[in-house]
């Protein structure tokens, strides 16, 4: 163990023994709501009016040992409670996060494509495209390595869950047989490299791998891609794949490709175009689900008006095709 790691480990142990000695912290509240109108041709949609809302409480503080503590509690839509996370920023080692599921591990790069609003498959058309999640999709512990241990611009995340079955357990809780196919641990590793080796300003490379121990062949997922930004223009491409999803169906896996282009016309107006193709590898014939979406967003302070025009072929990996228009008005604070 090198000297730097020893120092970081000592700081971590000291922080755990001095939780009660935390300095007075601060609390921030952020949130917003989006009212939407959805029109989908070729599909009975019923009432086209919708509402999405989010409210996030973030508490921060610092222990006597110098370890920074962050508590995040999120309330989304009509749920009284959605998810929470506790993070400890240990000098010399990095950030350790106890997360209730979602946003960590391979879930960090499930879709990194530039867009003015939403992913091309999440615009109300009912595409139901499957994306990778890995162990980070369940209650897990993630280590974001300190920049002191890595080359400049490289971020590395290692995530572990003792039984990643998609659960988000409450206090003293544990999951039941949400997924009886999961029999062991899950591990994710994700790399995000901005301006690699200081050679290409505006270029970001990313990739990740996940392994979940399951009955028979293990559940494996991976993803990689790149984004390049110059001026107001950002372009991106990525691929993800999943083997042995163990979802109770006759599906062997999924292979996804995506690209996106966004452009900030000015500080308030942005446009984008993106597409996703997801191939479901079945025991029988494979199915290609494809989505495309053109979007525009105009912001004015804490308000925004957004429009998405989208197409989906073989929605839910079936045979239905839809075209939809989504209009949203967002207020944020």
User: Which pLDDT tens digit goes with each residue over 147-173?
Assistant: 888 999 999 999 998 877 766 666 656
* Residue whose structure tokens are 């993070």: 87
Alpha helices in 87-206 (DSSP H): none
Q: Are 333 and 30 in contact (CB under 8 A)?
A: yes
State mean pLDDT over 49-72: 94
* Per-residue pLDDT at 42: 75
What is residue 147's predicted lDDT score, i.e. its pLDDT? 85
- Pair 310, 137: CB distance under 8 Å: no
Are 127 and 119 contacting, i.e. CB atoms less than 8 angstroms apart? Answer: no
The confidence band for 1, taking pLDDT boundaries of 50, 70 and 90, is: very low
Better-scored residue on pLDDT, 55 or 1: 55
pLDDT of residue 109: 94
Contact indicator for 313, 321 with CB cutoff of 8 Å: yes
Three-state secondary-structure class, residue 314? strand
Average pLDDT over residues 89-105: 90
- Write out the E strands in the chain: 26-41, 49-62, 68-76, 83-90, 94-99, 140-145, 154-161, 182-194, 203-214, 219-230, 233-243, 251-264, 269-282, 287-300, 303-315, 320-332
Q: Which residues are within 8 A (CB) of 105 and not within 5 positions of it... i.e. 6 or more apart?
A: 133, 134, 135, 136, 137, 140, 142, 157, 159, 188, 190, 208, 210
195-215 pLDDT, tens digit per residue, is 998 889 999 999 999 999 887
Q: How many whole angstroms separate alpha carbon 309 and alpha carbon 276?
A: 14
What is the three-class DSSP state of 146?
coil
CA 254/CA 240 separation, integer angstroms: 8
- Residue 43, pLDDT > 90, answer no
User: Please, what is the Cα angle at 88 between 83 and 94, to 5 degrees?
Assistant: 120
Q: How far is CA 14 from the centre of its chain?
A: 32
Task: List phi, psi (to 5°) of 136.
Answer: -65, -10
Write the DSSP symbol of residue 109: G
- Work out the average pLDDT over 112-135: 93
**3-15+31-332: what fold?**
Porin (2.40.160)
pLDDT score of 18: 42
User: Could you read off the pLDDT of 285-330 as tens digits, one per residue?
Assistant: 899 999 999 999 999 999 999 999 999 999 999 999 999 999 999 9
Specify the pTM.
0.86
Distance between CA atoms of residues 109 and 132, nearest Å:
8
Q: How far apart are CA 155 and CA 153, in angstroms?
A: 7
Distance CA 291, CA 121 (A): 6
Residue 4, pLDDT score: 38
User: What is the per-residue pLDDT for 44?
Assistant: 63
How far is the C-alpha of 328 from the C-alpha of 307, rounded, in Å? 6
Token readout for 303 is: 């308000």
| pLDDT tens figures, 268-283 | 999 999 999 999 998 8
pLDDT of 228 > 90? The answer is: yes
More confident residue, 181 or 53: 53
State residue 268's pLDDT score. 97
| 125 phi, psi to nearest 5 deg | -85, -5
Per-residue pLDDT, 284: 81
Q: Of the ranges 6-20, 109-123, 129-143, 237-251, which one carries the lowest mean pLDDT score?
A: 6-20
């Amino acid at each position: 163990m090198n000297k730097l790691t020893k120092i970081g480990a000592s700081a971590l142990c000291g922080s755990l023994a001095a939780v009660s000695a935390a300095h007075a912290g601060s609390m921030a509240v952020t949130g917003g709501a989006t009212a939407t109108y959805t029109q989908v041709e070729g599909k009975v949609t019923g009432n086209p009016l919708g509402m999405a809302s989010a409210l996030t409480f973030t508490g921060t503080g610092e222990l006597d040992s110098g370890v920074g503590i962050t508590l995040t509690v999120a309330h989304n839509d009509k749920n009284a409670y959605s998810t929470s996370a506790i993070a400890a920023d240990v000098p010399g080692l990095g950030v350790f996060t106890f997360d209730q599921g979602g946003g960590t591990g391979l879930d960090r790069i499930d879709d990194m494509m530039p867009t003015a609003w939403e992913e091309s498959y999440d615009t109300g058309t009912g595409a139901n495209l499957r994306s990778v999640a890995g162990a980070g999709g369940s209650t897990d512990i993630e280590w974001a390595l300190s920049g002191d241990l890595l080359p400049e611009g490289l971020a590395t995340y290692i995530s572990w869950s003792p039984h990643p079955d998609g659960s988000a357990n409450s206090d003293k809780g544990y999951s039941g047989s949400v997924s009886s196919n999961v029999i062991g641990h899950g591990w994710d590793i994700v790399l995000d490299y901005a301006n690699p080796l200081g050679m290409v300003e505006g270029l970001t490379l990313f990739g990740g791998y996940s392994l979940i121990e399951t009955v028979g062949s293990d559940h494996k997922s991976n993803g990689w891609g790149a984004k390049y930004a110059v001026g107001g223009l950002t372009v991106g491409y990525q691929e993800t794949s999943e083997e042995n999803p163990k979802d109770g169906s006759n599906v062997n896996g999924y292979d996804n490709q995506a690209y996106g282009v966004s452009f900030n016309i000015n500080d308030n107006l942005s446009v984008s175009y993106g597409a996703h193709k997801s191939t479901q590898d079945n025991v029988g014939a494979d199915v290609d689900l494809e989505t495309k979406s053109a979007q525009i967003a105009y912001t004015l302070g804490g308000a925004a008006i957004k429009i998405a025009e989208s197409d989906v072929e073989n929605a839910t990996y079936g045979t239905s095709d839809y075209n939809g228009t989504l209009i949203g008005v967002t207020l944020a604070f």
